[in-house]
Amino acid sequence: MLDDHPETDLVILPKSNRQISADDDNMGYSYELLANRSKFSNIEPTIVHVTPKDTNLRNEPYTHSQDEFIYILEGAIYLLYDGEEHYMGKGDTSYFKGTKTHLFVPVDNEGAKVLTVFIDHEE
């Protein structure tokens, strides 16, 4: 059992059961987990809601141990990655190492929605 859910081959999470959460108002993002993570899975699908430009206070990049795949669902961002800025619009994708500094920066006040898949690599 993980999080009081039995381990199964199929996990369905209706939209009405997903929650959007932000750990900090100054984070620049809020997150919507798309699946209950299995202890046997190395991926974590998430929708990242990027805060609109005028209310986004975050300018320090992140790092983490997982690789990351992103797909721009709505809006546009600048992906700051390892000191370089890359414009990404709806339909664009990227795969990168989370151990390098990165940040999603809003392009405008519309914000953006980014499908993000974190991939853990077992050693």
Check residue 35 and report its DSSP letter. Answer: S
Q: Are 50 and 111 in contact (CB under 8 A)?
A: yes
Q: What is the pTM of this model?
A: 0.82
Give the model's pLDDT for residue 74: 97
In the chain, the percentage of residues whose pLDDT exceeds 90 is 50
Q: Is the dihedral of CA 9, 12, 17, 19 positive or negative?
A: positive
Residues of the chain with pLDDT under 50: 1-2
- In order of their start, the domains of the chain are 15-119 (2.60.120.10)
In the chain, the percentage of residues whose pLDDT exceeds 70 is 84
